[in-house]
Amino acid sequence: MSEGREEALKLVNITKAYQMGEQTIEVLKNVNLTVKRGELLVVMGPSGSGKSTLLNIAGTLDRPTSGKVYIGGVDVTGMSEEELSIFRCRHIGFVFQSYNLLRNFTARENVMIPMLLSGIYNVEEARERAETLLSIVGLEEHAEKFPSQLSGGQQQRVAIARALANDPDVILMDEPTGNLDVRSASNVAALIVWLNRVFGQTFIVVTHNPELAKISTRTIYIAGGRLYSEPPSGLLSVKIGNEVDSLRLRNAQIKLLQVKAKSLLRLIKSGAATPQIEREVEEIEKRIADIAKLIEKESR
């Protein structure tokens, strides 16, 4: 039991499969992950690797096909939707790439919402705590502003304050710096580190930004629905090489240009041509000739 309390999140043999017609696609394959309290775990992986699905399942937004999810030592796998709502509210914080603040609510009100939803605090208490949380993220001056009146970096800091609202076991972040400029991204990253070191807040940050890996206490990698402690070979490399059929691509390019030239010539014949269109036709003919020469050269 004491071990359970030390674990902010534990995923045991998690598999997630989707049915596409007759085909079954396994997005997560027997994933096991334990995140201890106070960790700042960065999960890196390219698009389509299953990292969002992992985050959804870890955050109880989605259910695994098989396996078990423990948050703060509690098995949440069999909980009903209503039970999950309450549990999510009190034990998990979320920070999303596009901030996801409620646009009709001020910064303070956005931070108050999870506290009011938890049923623990009344409006006054929630307001007081929200103001403290906003001062922690350096936005006490902006409490009355609506999201549209805040910069991206400020909105993300409000989102972090909101995620902290109910002292969650774990804060899950999905590309928290994905929509930010370099300076704002750096500020947000610094805030995450600070909250982790000073508050001991547990974070799981999913990203494909290698810069964020530098702030982690541990980095893991996800590819093809599996977790790796080291980057799997070729995870982030771009493969452009011999397997690309250059002849086929050049022929396709010629075909595209020919269709365009034909369409432009039809316009010239109908009398709708401008000098610019005539110049464009000449340009296309020249490009087709150049590509043909290149093909001839490569085939020798």
Partner 1 sequence: MLWISLKFALRDFKLRKFASALTIIAIMSGLAAFTALRIASVSMEVTAKYMVERALAGEVIVYGDGLLDLSELALPDFERIPGVKRVVPLVITLGYMRGSMVLIVGAKASDLQFVVENYVAGGGFNASDEGVAVLDQVITRDKNIGVGDIVLLKPQAAKAAYPLRVVGVAYVSLEIQGMGSAAPYVIVPLREAQHMMEKEGYVTLAMLVLDKGVDPERVVEMVRGEYPNAKIFKREDILKVVTKVVSLIDTLLLAVTFIGLAVAIMGTANTIMSNVREHSREIAILRALGAKGSHVALIFILESLFYGVIGGILGVGLGVLGAFSSKDLIREMGMPAFRLQIEWGTLLVSFAVAVLVSVGSSIYPSIRASRISPVRVMKNE
Residue 51 near partner 1 by CB under 8 A = no
The structure tokens listed for 118 are: 């938890």
Cβ atoms of 140 and 131 closer than 8 Å = yes
Residue 174 near partner 1 by CB under 8 A = yes
CA distance 196 to 202: 6
Residue 162 near partner 1 by CB under 8 A = yes
Residue 85 near partner 1 by CB under 8 A = yes
- Quick note: the x/- pattern for partner 1 over 103-132, rule CB under 8 A, is xxx---x---xx-xxx----x---------
Q: Report DSSP state, residue 249.
A: H
Q: Toward partner 1, which CB reaches closer, 98 or 149? A: 98
CA distance 51 to 288: 44
Q: How many residues interact with partner 1 (rule CB under 8 A)? A: 33
Cβ atoms of 182 and 21 closer than 8 Å = no
Q: Toward partner 1, which CB reaches closer, 41 or 115? A: 115
Residue 94 near partner 1 by CB under 8 A = yes
Given 43, 44, 58, 89, the residue binding partner 1 (CB under 8 A): 89
Given 17, 33, 61, 235, the residue binding partner 1 (CB under 8 A): 61
Candidates 87-95, 187-195, 197-205, 280-288: pick the segment binding partner 1 (CB under 8 A): 87-95
DSSP strands (E only) in the chain = 7-20, 23-36, 40-44, 66-71, 74-75, 92-95, 170-174, 203-207, 218-223, 226-228
Candidates 11-19, 100-108, 280-288, 291-299: pick the segment binding partner 1 (CB under 8 A): 100-108
Residue 16 near partner 1 by CB under 8 A = no
Which sign does the torsion angle of CA 55, 56, 61, 65 carry? negative
Residue 265 near partner 1 by CB under 8 A = no
Q: Return the exposure string of 94-129: e unless at least 16 CB atoms fall within 10 Å of the residue's CB, then b.
A: bbbbebbbeeeebbbbbbbbbbbbeeebeeeebbeb
Q: Toward partner 1, which CB reaches closer, 35 or 54? A: 54
The structure tokens listed for 100 are: 């996801």
Q: Toward partner 1, which CB reaches closer, 85 or 263? A: 85
Q: Toward partner 1, which CB reaches closer, 201 or 281? A: 201
Residue 56 near partner 1 by CB under 8 A = yes
Q: Toward partner 1, which CB reaches closer, 31 or 261? A: 31
Residue 97 near partner 1 by CB under 8 A = yes
Given 59, 64, 72, 153, the residue binding partner 1 (CB under 8 A): 59
CA distance 87 to 192: 23
CA distance 182 to 294: 41
213: Cα separation from own chain's centroid: 14
Contact footprint for partner 1 (CB under 8 A): 52, 55-56, 59, 61-62, 81-82, 85-86, 88-90, 94, 96-98, 100-105, 109, 113-114, 116-118, 123, 162, 174-175
